[in-house]
């Protein structure tokens, strides 16, 4: 057991950090620090810088453009990226559909899609959840019927993140109504510009528009857009969700936010002195920092374990990451609310193009608090995570 980073790992951290310093557009960084939404252009610009460096699809196998880093290097890269902060690669493309395509797709599909995912020539979105299928995802009803050389798709998806920007969607569709619910699902990809696709934005309680409803009305999709085998889509979906075990803790994001809280708490006054001098506040902040340190170590244990023993058998501690990671993210937004006090109230609906530069830094704090309630709901709610621990780890 050796719990310190090696010299090589420390040097790697420096390399990554100095690349971010030199290459993340300063305005992009500032908006992230202030909790603002970025425009599509700002995100794509950064992702192309990252891709040019060869780091856009870092965890892909090297033959498809990955870096061949160790799992500890991936951890360091992510932590530095999140805590700089810089925008994370578009998960729907790079972490979700990309690995499904290079693992289960045919050569033609790999050639067609992978380079465009890496360079974000196509913006991908995820067509999984439906109005009646949240935690019980396998009950989904969106239908794909084979007619000649086409799939005819009808149905509705919801909570489709950033679908308003999307060029492509990967979609779970029912292709066999008679099979057991997990068995009759296929993984089909198609253009969001197809006739019969309608996107309707959903405004969330923070006032922003991140998620959408997506309607399919007799959408015609070429048969070759099926990924892998017909009716095996559930397996690919499980593979896809299993891929993001360690990123979900978002330790770097919380670290960055805690630094910001410390900074603001040194400036905002309460009782005639900076709020950081208030013992009760200071202890709450320390408590959150301690929890985050524990989570960081838990994440490192999972990362080191994967590096040594492969990703096949998940480390039992990995189940902790989603639950604790989301709780801590939420606590950081609560602490920001506490710092800002009565100035949390002024309302200012932000556009998702990030153009409202005149806004005071306080304006994003309440929306960010409201918005972060989502993190314990998405990606398998924390209650579902507890079910998983009970079954898979404790054998209950």
Partner 1 sequence: MDFDLTEEQRLLKDSIDGLLTDSYDFESRKKYMKEKGGWSKAVWGKLAEQGLLGLPFSEADGGFGGGGVETMIVMEALGKALVLEPYLATVVIGGGFLRHAGTDAQKAAYVPGIVDGSKTLAFAQLEKNSRYDLFDVATTAKKKGDGWVIDGEKFVVLNGENADTLIVTARTKGNRRDTTGIGVFLVPANAKGITKKSYPTQDGLHAADITFTGVEVGADAAIGNPDDSLALIERVVDEARVALCAEAVGLMDESLKTTVEYIKTRKQFGVAIGSFQSLQHRASDMFVAAEQARSMSMFATMAGEFEDAKERSNAIAAAKVQIGKSLKFVGQQAIQLHGGIGMTMEAKIGHYFKRLTMIENSFGDTDYHQRRVADAGGLV
Residues that bind partner 1 (CB under 8 A): 1-6, 9, 72, 255, 258-259, 262, 279, 282-283, 285-287, 289-295, 297-298, 300-301, 304-305, 308, 316-317, 319-320, 323-324, 383, 385-387, 389-391, 393-396
- State in angstroms the smallest separation of the CB of 67 from partner 1: 18
- Token pair of 344 as six digits: 């949390």
303 close to 246: Cβ distance less than 8 angstroms? yes
Output the smallest distance, CB 295 to partner 1, in A: 7
* Residue tagged 């994370």 (tokens): 88
Shorter beta-carbon distance to partner 1: residue 191 or 330 = 330
Minimum gap (Å) between residue 130 Cβ and partner 1: 24
Nearer to partner 1, 125 or 265 (CB): 265
Integer Cα distance of 333 and 293 in angstroms: 17
For partner 1, the closer of residues 287 and 359 by Cβ is 287
CA atoms within 13 A on the CB side of 103: 16
Q: Which is nearer to partner 1, 231 or 299 (CB)?
A: 299
Q: Which residues does 32 contact at the CB level (< 8 Å), separation at least 6?
A: 38, 85, 86, 87
**Shortest approach of partner 1 to residue 275 CB, angstroms?**
13
Plot region of 136 (φ>0 → left; ψ -120 to 50 → alpha; else → beta): beta
- Helix or strand or coil: residue 202? strand
Q: For the CB of residue 324, give the shortest distance to partner 1 in the complex, in Å.
A: 6
Question: Shortest Cβ distance from residue 307 to partner 1 (Å)?
Answer: 9
- Residue number, 126 or 329, with CB nearest to partner 1: 329
The single-letter DSSP state of residue 109 is H
Supply 179's token pair. 């099979």
Which residue, 318 or 371, is less far from partner 1 as judged by CB? 318
- For residue 255, the minimal CB distance to partner 1 (Å) is 6
Cβ closest to partner 1, residue 217 vs residue 283: 283
Paired tokens of 276: 């950081």
Helix H, strand E, coil C: the string for 305-332 is HHHHHCCCCCCCCHHHHHHHHHHHHHHH
User: Could you give the angle at which helices 251-265 and 318-340 cross, rounded to 10 degrees?
Assistant: 20
How far apart CA 364 and CA 350 sit, in angstroms, is: 8
């Amino acid at each position: 057991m050796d719990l310190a980073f090696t010299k090589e790992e420390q040097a790697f951290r420096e390399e990554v950090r100095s690349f971010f310093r030199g290459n993340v557009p300063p305005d992009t960084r500032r908006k992230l620090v202030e909790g603002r939404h970025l425009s599509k252009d700002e995100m794509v610009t950064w992702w192309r810088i990252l891709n040019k460096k060869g780091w856009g699809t870092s965890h892909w196998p090297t033959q498809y453009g990955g870096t061949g880093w160790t799992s500890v290097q991936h951890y360091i890269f992510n932590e530095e990226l999140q805590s700089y902060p810089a925008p994370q690669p578009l998960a729907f493309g790079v972490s979700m559909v990309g690995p499904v395509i290079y693992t289960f797709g045919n050569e033609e599909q790999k050639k067609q899609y992978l380079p465009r995912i890496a360079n974000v020539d196509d913006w991908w979105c995820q067509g999984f959840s439906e109005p009646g299928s949240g935690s019980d995802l396998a009950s989904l009803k969106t239908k794909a019927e084979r007619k000649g050389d086409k799939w005819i798709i009808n149905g509705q998806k919801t909570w489709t993140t950033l679908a308003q920007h999307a060029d492509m969607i990967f979609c779970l569709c029912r292709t066999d109504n008679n099979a057991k619910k997990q068995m009759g699902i296929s993984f089909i990809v198609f253009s969001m510009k197809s006739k019969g696709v309608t996107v309707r934005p959903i405004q969330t309680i923070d006032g922003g528009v991140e998620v959408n409803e997506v309607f399919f009305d007799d959408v015609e999709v070429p048969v070759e857009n099926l990924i892998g085998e017909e009716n095996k889509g559930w397996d690919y979906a499980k593979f896809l969700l299993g891929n993001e075990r360690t990123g979900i803790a978002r330790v770097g994001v919380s670290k960055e936010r805690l630094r910001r809280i410390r900074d603001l708490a040194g400036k905002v006054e309460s009782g005639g002195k900076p709020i950081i001098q208030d013992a009760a506040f200071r202890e709450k902040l320390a408590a959150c920092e301690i929890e985050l340190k524990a989570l960081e170590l838990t994440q490192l244990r999972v990362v080191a374990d994967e590096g040594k023993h492969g990703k096949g058998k998940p480390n039992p501690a990995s189940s902790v990451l989603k639950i604790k990671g989301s709780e801590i993210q939420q606590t950081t937004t609560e602490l920001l609310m506490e710092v800002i006090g009565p100035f949390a109230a002024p309302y200012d609906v932000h556009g998702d193009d990030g153009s409202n530069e005149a806004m005071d830094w306080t304006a994003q704090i309440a929306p960010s608090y409201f918005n972060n309630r989502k993190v314990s709901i998405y990606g398998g709610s924390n209650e579902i995570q507890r079910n998983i621990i009970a079954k898979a780890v404790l054998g209950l």
